[in-house]
Amino acid sequence: MNNAAVPESYIPILLFIGLAIAFSAVALLAGSLVRPSRPYRAKLIPYESGSPLFSDARIQFPMRYYIIAMLFVIFDIEIIFMIPWAVRFQSLGLLGLIEMLAFLGILLVGFWYAWKKGALEWD
């Protein structure tokens, strides 16, 4: 491979990046020149999902919300670990099956523990 040819191969990429930046700048400039700008008080009020705010946005969420979110992420990631196992199930044999059953047993014990502690209740 010729070392002099390497920088020349980057020229199309640099041109493409330059065109992307130029097109973006022109589009933003054209939009700011064409669009109407008539702000008024009701338009500038923040809203959430189309409904007006009824309290301060900086309220404390209950700790149960975070616990349920963490449990969801943990169990979701553990379930994703099963996909490669399912793809390679035939080649893993009996040992792979036993290992996955042990993994599922640990997963079910954790799920049972969270359920008994009431962490999955949304009251």
pLDDT at res. 8: 78
Q: What phi, psi does 45 have (nearest 5°)?
A: -75, 130
pTM: 0.44
The helix (H) or strand (E) run that includes residue 109 is helix 89-116
Q: Does domain 63-116 sit in CATH 3.90.1010.10?
A: no
pLDDT in tens, the chain (123 residues): 555 556 778 889 999 999 999 999 999 999 999 998 888 887 777 766 666 666 666 777 777 788 888 888 888 888 888 888 888 888 888 898 898 899 889 888 888 888 888 877 766
Q: What are the start-end ranges of the E strands in 13-112?
A: 47-48, 51-52
Per-domain residue ranges of the chain: 5-47, 63-116
